Amino acid sequence: MSSVRTRFAPSPTGFLHVGGLRTALYNYLFAKKENGSFILRIEDTDRSRKVEGAMENLIDTLHWAGVEFDEGPGKEGNFGPYIQSQRLSLYQRYAHQLVEEGKAYYCFCTPERLEEIRRKQIAAKISASYDRHCRAFTKEEAEKRRKTGEPFVIRMKVPLEGELTFTDIIRGDVTIAYKILDDQVILKSDGYPTYHLAVVVDDHLMKISHVIRGEEWLPSTPKHVLLYKYFGWEIPQFAHLPLLLNPDKSKLSKRQGDVAVEDYRLKGYLREALVNFVAFLGWNPGDEREIFSLEELIREFSLERVGKSGAVFNTEKLDWMNFEHLRRKPDAEVLCMVKEKLMLSEFNTTHFSDAYLLSVISAMRERVTFVKDFIEKSPYFFRAPLHYDADTVKKRWQKDSPSYLKKLAEEFSVLESPTKESYETALHRAAESLHIKNSDLIHPLRLAVSGMGAGPGLYDIIVILGKDETVRRMNSAIEKVPAIAGFQQ
RNA sequence: GGCGCGUUCGUCUAGCGGCUAGGACGGAGCCCUCUCAAGGCUUAAACACGGGUUCGAUUCCCGUACGCGCUACCA
């Protein structure tokens, strides 16, 4: 049994797209599941579209996502080089071989002539395709013209009649008539191959067993199959993935939101969440589990369970997945991430002990979606309130709150290394002696220490802040809040 | 225009002839509660349409509609 080898073959034209990430991921998952190899190949056969640094960025992003390739640029295996522009002579040799065998031919038509016939075809409302003008030349004629240095391309000869059927793992048998196929250019006039030649030559030479790629390639697969037949090579298995869509169901693109993996990374999404989310756009394990690690995805993945229809890339659920993955992370790991964020925040000059940060993490865990939320949703753990939330003041601060808090501060002051429980009994004691409800103290106190109306349990907050800081914040609230509340003293 | 592919709640989806069409996110409501979350419970919400095949179609076949993709010396 020959081994499974899959590949992700992006062209280095920019950032890695989330759709590209999914394609790479499925190739990776399938290869790993089958104990095979996952190859990264760079398809840079269009010189005009090449973007400097794009390949490095692609590799970096894949690495970030945890989708590691076994062979590829910078990780040479036995089938390199893995960059198509470094394999030019190979494609040329195979293209000419096809010409020799009468399965392809030289074409000398100028771009102008091509443009002209296309224009006429469109005007006449017939489907635009090459008119096979140069296919009629004899070998000698063509060879003669080529020798004079006239620019040429090589086109594959597509049978004039009949049809071709191939099997797709996801879609079943697909049949198309030869007559709707163009005599596709396989070698351009600059000596570079087109995608169609390069993909076939490389997939064969690199012993790719399964071609897993986007659905946009489905219509040109017959050309590829034909090429395999012309070369007499074994045809790989095909699996064409459904597209990722914009909310309006068009093919996912920029303009309608972020599409680069980089964008999501910068927004603070965890790699685990993005990978999990993207894996579920078109695939599911068949039961009701939804939160998967990369290892679990490998264990469960199968091409048979990949769906046929496009999926809208809708980030609502991604946020939830981020929350779920974040909360599954061990404290130590979250601590590291929080410290990193702190370094980049306005609090980077203050030192917080790991123990302190860990207590903040445990208090906030259920309340955060992103790591940055630990800081943004509870800045009061890092400095005293700068202001007091107006709605909360209005709702929770009463005319007598200052005197109540004063009394409470007195109760707190005498406590010796207080615990949650001792704070609580102290508060209850104060409420009782003031003849008020506990909540008449609780809410103003929360406002005093945090500046806001929402957050972890009050006693958790003050235990974390400590007695001195708590009392200090109470006093400052007694001083400042009445003015905001608008009560006359 | 031609060719191909697709179509189950708003979104991601389960379903592979017989189900009260299930789950998740999001929404609504209730419970818990010092707030906010989390958690628990409840709820609204879908088989594009028309023909067949069949005792019986969401499921199989054929049309139609709609959507998307491809139609380059781009990938």
Provide the whole-model pTM: 0.94
Q: A351 and A213: one domain? A: no
Helix pair A458-465, A420-434: axis angle to 10 deg: 120
Burial degree of A204 (CB within 10 A; 0-12, 13-18, 19+): middle
Q: In this structure, is the CB of residue A180 within 7 Å of any atom belonging to strand B?
A: yes
Query: A186 with A300, same domain?
Result: no
Asked if A124 CB < 7 A from strand B, the reply is: no
**Nucleic chain B: which protein residues 77-106 of A have CB below 7 A from it?**
none
Q: Is the CB of A118 under 7 A from strand B?
A: yes
> A246, A315 in Cβ contact below 8 A?
no
Given the residues A120, A179, A254, A406, the one annotated as active site:
A254
Q: How far apart are CA A219 and CA A233, in angstroms?
A: 20
Q: What distance in Å separates the CA atoms of residue A168 and residue A150, rounded to the nearest whole number?
A: 41
For residue A261, what are the CA distances in angstroms to A21, A204, A319? Answer: 7, 30, 15
- For residue A322, being part of any structural domain is answered with no
Structurally, how many domains does chain A consist of?
A: 4
Question: Final residue of a domain: which of A279, A312, A345?
Answer: A312
For residues A282 and A302, what is the distance between their CA atoms, to the nearest angstrom? Answer: 11
Q: Which structural domain range is residue A50 located in?
A: 5-76+244-312
Each residue's pLDDT tens digit, A251-277: 888 777 789 999 999 999 999 999 999
H or E segment to which residue A422 belongs: helix A420-434
Do A408 and A441 form a contact (C-beta atoms < 8 A)?
yes
Query: Are residues A236 and A95 both part of a single domain?
Result: yes
Interval A66-96: pLDDT, tens: 999 999 999 999 997 999 999 999 999 999 9
**Residue A81, SS3 per DSSP:** coil
Which residues pair with residue A107 across a beta bridge? A153
User: Using CA atoms, how far apart are residues A55 and A43, in angstroms rounded to an integer?
Assistant: 10
Please tell me the predicted confidence (pLDDT) of residue A483.
85
Predicted local confidence at residue A489, as pLDDT: 46
Is A372 one of the annotated active-site residues of the chain? no
Task: Report the pLDDT value the prediction gives residue A488, as an integer from 0 to 100.
Answer: 47
Q: What is the dihedral sign for C-alpha A129, A131, A136, A141?
A: negative
In terms of domains, do A94 and A189 share one?
A: yes
Can you tell me the distance from the alpha carbon of A482 to that of A478, in angstroms, rounded to the nearest whole number?
7
Measure A23 CA to B46 C1' (Å).
29
Query: Do A167 and A130 share a structural domain?
Result: yes
Q: Is the ipTM of this complex over 0.90?
A: yes
Residues A142 and A171 in one domain: yes
Would you state the structure tokens that stand for residue A279, as one six-digit string?
Answer: 């894996």
Q: Which residues of chain A have pLDDT under 70?
A: 1, 487-489
Backbone angles phi, psi at A281, to 5 degrees: -90, 85
Are A237 and A144 found together in one domain? yes
pLDDT of residue A415: 92
> Does residue A431 lie within any of the structural domains?
yes
Same domain, A94 and A237: yes
CB A185 under 7 Å to nucleic chain B:
yes
Long-range contacts of A57-60 (CB under 8 A, 24+ apart): A57/A15, A57/A16, A57/A262, A58/A10, A58/A12, A58/A15, A58/A16
